[in-house]
Structure 1
Amino acid sequence: MATRFNRRQFLATGSATVAVSVLLKACASPSSNNTATTTSPNTAGSPASQGFKAAIVLPGVITDKAWNQAGYAGLNEVKKQGAEIAYVEKIGQAEQAEALSDFARRGFNLVYAHGGQFDAAIQQVAGQFPNTFFVGVNGAATGPNIASLRIDHLQASYLCGIIAATMSKSKKIAYLAGQEFQATQEELRGLQLGAKSVDPTIQVSSTFTGDWNDAAKAKEAAAALISSGSDVIYQWLDNAAPTVLQTASDQGIYAFGNTADQFEVAPKAVLTSAVKRIDLAIAKLADLAQKNELKGQIYSFGLEEPTILHLGKFNPAVPADLQAKVKKTEDAILAKKITFETCTEGGKATRCVKGAA
């Protein structure tokens, strides 16, 4: 069975040994407690993977059916490569640096920090542990032993923006996320660009709850957006996502799933989902690390990697001609007939769309 640690115990133990166990998923149901867990490697790993240890620090729980669960799934993909793996859940901002440091002290070769909100903590600790490579998922930090892994959120949200603007009756749509940092800013920008390509006058508002998992805050924010007239909500939340999708369904408006295909969560409301197979992207970088080919740079995956980034199941309410328009636009992005280039707008650096389908 898996050896499990209370979060406070994990953060306080420093270089204490973590017991190796069989795969958690096969042996025990996840606890809601904050824990650190290791699992033994598969025996079929490549020679390069022997003795390789990878860990992930998660801001939420591995059962959220969204961001954190996708990160945990990625860690298990790394296990299939023959690595020993470990994770810790529900790490808040004040605990980030110590959680990352503790895995490094335990001799882990690769440590993922699962969210752009970890960038400052990564930069704080990486120089102290040159033998550990830190990867910020959705981050922007780089360094000798720091890489960032990104999905091109703007590409997917651009396509969703086209759908949102076409399906909206009020001509008011909204973006709702947990925190504001580069990845969410880019996703919001894509939604704006896609929507305005359909209707330049459409209003796109945004709200950040400050918490990816607080369902009460998310429900309150969604209700406020609906009260202000938004009839389509593009959300990016973790454990709080189902609450927003269900609120949209109850109020008779539309919404978008995110990270996982969340159509079944609220089939009356979800138009489609921006499916981000971050688990496969995590595994790709682990493979590079085991080959000593991982570099201190930003690795970005977009629609050109359809197994990693794609749209999910369409709601029957989305007309066939609109689905065809979205597919034509996606093809134009892949053919580079539509590009998203760095520009300045309102005195700030952003990305602008060039070209047409």
Structure 2
Amino acid sequence: MKKNFPMSRAGWTRRGVLGASGAAMAAGLLTKPSTLFAAEPIKTAGIYTVPVEQQWVSRIHKAAEAAQAKGEVTYTFSENTANTDYPRVMREYAEQGVKLIVGEIFGVEQEAREVTLEYPDVAFLMGSSFLEDPAYPNLAVFDNYIQDASYLSGIIAGSMTKSGNIGMVGGFPIPEVNRLMHAFMAGAKEMNPDITFQVSFIGSWFDPPKAKETAFAMIENGADVLYAERFGVSDAAQEKGILAIGNVIDTQPDYPETVVASALWHFEPTFNAALAKVQDGTFEADNYGKYSFMKEGGCSLAPLGTFEGKVPAEAMALVEKREAAIKAGEYTVEINDEEPKSS
């Protein structure tokens, strides 16, 4: 099922149901306070539920560090924050005078949103499975809509498999994972419509050993290319001498003979857009997901590096054609948030 962006998640529950509480408090809470204007670096904090080395979070961390290096923010962060502790850490940073808090509230949607109402002068930029809500006027949401780059990486994968069997290991079957897998599969089928896929989710955002074991099972079942949505998958591919496609970050330097290509997420456009709003006092409830699109500079296909010249010319020609069309707005990669299935 194709969904246009932005899409509603009104009927979908991820790891918590977003309630409607707090709507009565919305009136007057967002005032564009003068405290959001900054003649000096904006005090910024990141709150992450996993280590900053984890793929997804590392991109947010990298963008914040880049802004700090340019003197635009002062940046501190907390990693490995349990969902049960997340609201408390939000409050602690807000009480310390932090003006921009960035993170991911997927596992604590309702509680986190209620915290934002307590600090109307603080801007919250949070990864979320739900859209913005005017009832929480100082909370903007984002997600990694990098389906454009995932689709291009799928074209390359489809041209590299000899068995026509591709294994795909994900964390959880949630929209931000599902849409990337579907885009990847669509790209692979551009090269060979008869390709089959093994799809599995490990039920964790950071469990490399489990991802590795799942990948081993797929290799035993005939996969000769793996989609590494999680850490650990490329380790299995390397040990068994097959190929892998990366996700969110470029891991080819660590697996030079294994990782052919990667779909990269660039959080800088998202972060910079929010920062500009904080700086001029106009930050408000909004959906920043669009800044992850390729035409916004939010994603790209990593350089082929050691695989330069090893990918079939036909595939690279199609990649170049589609990439140009995507950037020009002439080709749209389908956004499909439904759970992918093995074929």
For Structure 1 versus Structure 2, the TM-score category normalised by the shorter chain is 0.7 to 0.9
Matching of residue 195 in structure 1 with residue 195 in structure 2? no
| Length, aligned pairs only | 296
Q: Distance in 1 between matches of 2:201 and 2:301?
A: 23
Written as runs of structure 1 = structure 2, the 5 A alignment for 1:1-357 is 48-50=38-40, 52-64=42-54, 66-79=55-68, 80-114=70-104, 116-117=106-107, 119-137=109-127, 139-143=129-133, 144-237=137-230, 241=231, 243-299=232-288, 300-301=290-291, 302-306=293-297, 308-314=298-304, 315-316=307-308, 317-340=310-333
**If each structure's strand is expressed as a fraction of its own residues, which one has the higher value?**
1
Native 8 Å contact 2:159 2:191 kept in 1: yes
Native 8 Å contact 1:56 1:114 kept in 2: no
SS of the equivalent of 1:222 reads helix
Q: Distance in 2 between matches of 1:303 and 1:113?
A: 22
SS of the equivalent of 1:333 reads helix
CA separation of 1:188 and 1:341: change in aligned 2, threshold 3 A: closer
SS of the equivalent of 1:330 reads helix
Q: Distance in 1 between matches of 2:177 and 2:47?
A: 20
Native 8 Å contact 2:105 2:112 kept in 1: no
SS of the equivalent of 2:296 reads coil
Q: CA deviation digits over 1:309-355, x for unaligned, max 9?
A: 11112123312332222111111222333224578x9xx699xxxxx
Post-superposition offset of 1:218 = 1.7
Post-superposition offset of 1:49 = 4.5
Post-superposition offset of 1:199 = 2.8
Native 8 Å contact 2:183 2:333 kept in 1: no
Q: CA deviation digits over 1:148-195, x for unaligned, max 9?
A: 223322111111111112211222223322233221121112112222
Choose 316-325 or 87-96, whichever is displaced more: 316-325
Native 8 Å contact 2:159 2:312 kept in 1: no
SS of the equivalent of 1:338 reads coil
Q: CA deviation digits over 1:110-159, x for unaligned, max 9?
A: 11114744544432422232222221236434131111223322111111
TM-score normalised by L of structure 2: 0.77
**Unaligned ranges ≥5, structure 2:** 1-35
SS of the equivalent of 1:54 reads strand
**Unaligned ranges ≥5, structure 1:** 1-45, 351-357
Q: CA deviation digits over 1:196-244, x for unaligned, max 9?
A: 333333223322222222221121121122222222222223xxx2x32
CA separation of 1:118 and 1:170: change in aligned 2, threshold 3 A: farther
Q: Tell me how large the CA RMSD over aligned residues is.
A: 2.7
TM-score normalised by L of structure 1: 0.74
SS of the equivalent of 1:86 reads strand
